[in-house]
Amino acid sequence: MTFVITSACVDVKDLSCIEVCPVDCIYHVEEDRMCYINPDECIDCNVCVEACPVAAIYADREVPSDQRVFTEVNALYFNDRDAARARVDELVRKR
């Protein structure tokens, strides 16, 4: 299991989750509209869930059905950041 950051994080970028992560598996750079959790580095500690002020983080098995696309977006980010950013932009436009 890992954790997934969903659409509630888009354009919020509070970064509280990054501050509390004991293994530094949550990433964000200036051009990102949201934070991303590396599924290969996450140790499933759940600390980020409590720290997120907008309730954007879920265990991968508990991501709401309307947010499941963000499971793919989070994983994509660690293979192709530009593609993940483009996908987030696309999803935001559809709202």
List pLDDT tens digits, range 61-92: 999 999 999 999 999 999 999 999 999 999 99
User: How far is 87 from 54, CA to CA, in rounded Å?
Assistant: 21
Q: What confidence score (pLDDT) does residue 94 get?
A: 83
Q: What confidence score (pLDDT) does residue 95 get?
A: 74
Residue 82: give its domain's CATH number. 3.30.70.20
pLDDT per position as a tens digit, 34-56? 999 999 999 999 999 999 999 99
Q: What confidence score (pLDDT) does residue 55 get?
A: 97
On whether the CB atoms of residues 16 and 8 are closer than 8 A, the answer is: no
Task: Tell me: pLDDT of 1 over 80.
Answer: no
**Taking CA 11 as the corner, what is the angle to CA 7 and CA 13, rounded to the nearest 5 degrees?**
95
The domain containing residue 49 runs over which residues? Answer: 3-94
* Domain count for the chain: 1
